[in-house]
Amino acid sequence: MTFTGKGMVSRFSLALLAVAALGATSCSAVDKVSEVAKDASKSDTARSKVGECINVISASMIDSKTEPVPCSAENAVYQVVQVHDKKVECHEDYTSYEETFGSGGTVAFLCLAPNFKEGSCYNEGMMTGYKFVPCTASDASFKVVGRIDGQVDEQLCGEDADQVLVVNDPKITYCLGSAKG
């Protein structure tokens, strides 16, 4: 993600940590059963597929609570753009999501793109990422005053925008303004 404007961080990436998983065994028939069990022990978020969306209910570096939601929902803060079984570095346009369980290791790696709605407000935390909040909330960081799908161009935002957030894949330009205004 590329950020421009007053007070916005220039690049943002984080790992949202959650809970789940089982270990694998060695025999191929047992491996298949183990993989099914491993997938069944993942949270609903960790089982998300590319194109699906999630809501961040609460976020921390240790224990985040998330849930899958329809992408059209106002609280669908992120869209899944990549799913991996092994740790990868997500592109700077994306936020990283890792799901682990104790010493069992990480069981899911997702790369997430913002899925902000025009007219909605969000809280941005350096360590916790984005979260949908009412525009009247004291912790509202910004309001989306414009969303332009299919184009990446900071010049598309009007005077109402204090900041611009550009995502290259999928191509989206977000025009951001004050949540208080």
Counting Cα atoms < 13 Å in the Cβ hemisphere of 72 gives 0
Q: In whole angstroms, give the CA distance from residue 106 to residue 161.
A: 39
Query: Three-state SS for 37?
Result: helix
Give the other-Cβ count within 10 Å of 63's Cβ.
11
**pLDDT, tens only, 155-167:** 999 888 999 999 9
Contact 142, 177 (CB under 8 A): yes
pLDDT in tens, 121-164: 999 987 778 999 999 999 999 999 999 999 999 899 988 899 99
69 close to 131: Cβ distance less than 8 angstroms: no
pTM above 0.95, yes or no: no
